[in-house]
Every structure is written in structure tokens, then in C-alpha cells.
Amino acid sequence: MMDGKTDRPLVRVEQVSKEYAMGGEVLKALNGVSLTVGYGEFVAIIGPSGSGKSTLMNILGCLDTPTSGKYWLEGEEVSRLPENRLAEIRNRKIGFIFQNFNLLPKLTALENVELPLIYRGMKGAERRERAMEALRKVGLADRTRHRPAELSGGQQQRVAIARALAGSPPVLLGDEPTGALDSKTSGEVMELMLELNREGHTIILITHNMDVADQAKRIVRIADGVLDEGGGAACISPRD
């Protein structure tokens, strides 16, 4: 995965703010956030609920655009792009891993994994091949014909990870990926993500769980819409 792009940061966010109008008052969900993530990093963004971490996640994932500030993804300024371009960027450059998996219940595991490739316009045979490869990578090669309802929570999340991997995007974005899992499966999922990181995938996780964040190479705290970055995981003292 690693290539010669390391001189340019993968993610560069500068002075990003996001405001919501709520009942006449302006709520600042993000207040001048700056963040840089390089290729191959494993970053955990940790913060309590209401801290703005989901807003940051949405902006990093190009699901939402900031009110002000700039966001470069692989050197491309994306904060002011039209919706169709953003959809393309989500499709090619970002792999989402959601807390509640967000698989389509009527599709099989394989079809779910194929979905981003369909929107990329990839042809049938190649698409199936890539999807199978992604499922093999997460250890679910024998569950391709199962629907999400026929899989356990951990397996569903692994299908979701396979879906995120299928398009080989430069960055995987996890929004509380272990939030809906018990501690054993959640450990397995984290293990898988660490493994992917070791293989070179860049991973950005959002969590409020310190144990999860601790496994990341780098921890960024967020509170009241402001980022507070220590040097690395070692410098952050556990919260409780």
C-alpha cells in the first residue's frame, strides 16, 4: 500500500469549523480544527459525546462540508466540491466502517462488498474477484452467500470492513467500529484493523473508548469542537 506519496500528507485539515443553526442560536460543532494524517498512520480521535467527533468524522469522510476552513485529501482540496464529486471521492478514496455496520440487509455478504465497486462502474467478473479477495482478507471467504441477518455481529462488521477494503481506498474511516460489539469480538475486530494497518492501510478511528484508542499509534483528543493532540499514545494519560 505504501508508495512514494509519503512526502505529501494523506489528510490535511486546516482551521475547519462547522456551525449549525439551532433554534436561532449558532452551535459550533467544530471550532478551528487542524489535523494532518500521513500515509500508513493509525490515528484514534477520542472524545465524549457532543465533542464534535462525529462532525469531524463526517467532514473527513466527505459526507458533510465544513462551514469554513480547508481540507486536502491526497493533495486535493475537497471542502468546496459539488455533491457528485464528493460521492466519487467517497467511492474511491474512503472506506467507511460504521458502528452499526450499515450493511444492506437484502444483499448477501458478497453483494454488499461489491456495492462500492458497482458504483465505480467495474465489470462483473473483476468486481466479484475483488470482493472475494476482500472477504478472504477478513476471513469470511466461506460466508459469501449469507445475508447480514445470518451472520454474527463480529462477522457483520468484518463484512463491512471488507466492503471498505474492496475499493482499496487510501484511508479507512472507522466510526466507533467496535461500539456495537461485545468485548471479545471487539478485540477480534481491533486485531483485524491493526493487522490491516501493519499491511499499510491508513486508519482513522473515532471512539469514546480509551481501550480502543490505546491500540492506535496516535491519539487525538477532541472536546467542545477543539482538537488537543499529544505527541503519541504514550503521552496521553488514561482518562479514568
Interaction of residue 146 with other proteins, rule CB under 8 A: no
Interaction of residue 102 with other proteins, rule CB under 8 A: yes
Q: Of 171, 166, 209, which Cα lies nearest the Cα of 190?
A: 209
- Strands lying side by side in the sheet with 68-73: 25-37, 11-22, 68-73, 76-77
Smallest gap, in angstroms, from Cβ of residue 91 to other proteins? 2
Residue 193 has φ and ψ, to the nearest 5°, of: -70, -40
Q: Which of 118, 129, 152, 198 binds other proteins (CB under 8 A)?
A: 118
Smallest gap, in angstroms, from Cβ of residue 94 to other proteins? 9
Smallest gap, in angstroms, from Cβ of residue 168 to other proteins? 13
Smallest gap, in angstroms, from Cβ of residue 237 to other proteins? 33
Which residue type sits at 117?
Answer: L
Rounded distance between C-alpha atoms, residue 180 and residue 133, angstroms:
26
Interaction of residue 180 with other proteins, rule CB under 8 A: no
Helix/strand/coil for 187: helix
What residues line the site for other proteins (CB under 8 A)? 58, 61, 63-64, 83-84, 87-88, 90-92, 96, 98, 102-104, 106, 115-116, 118-121, 163, 167
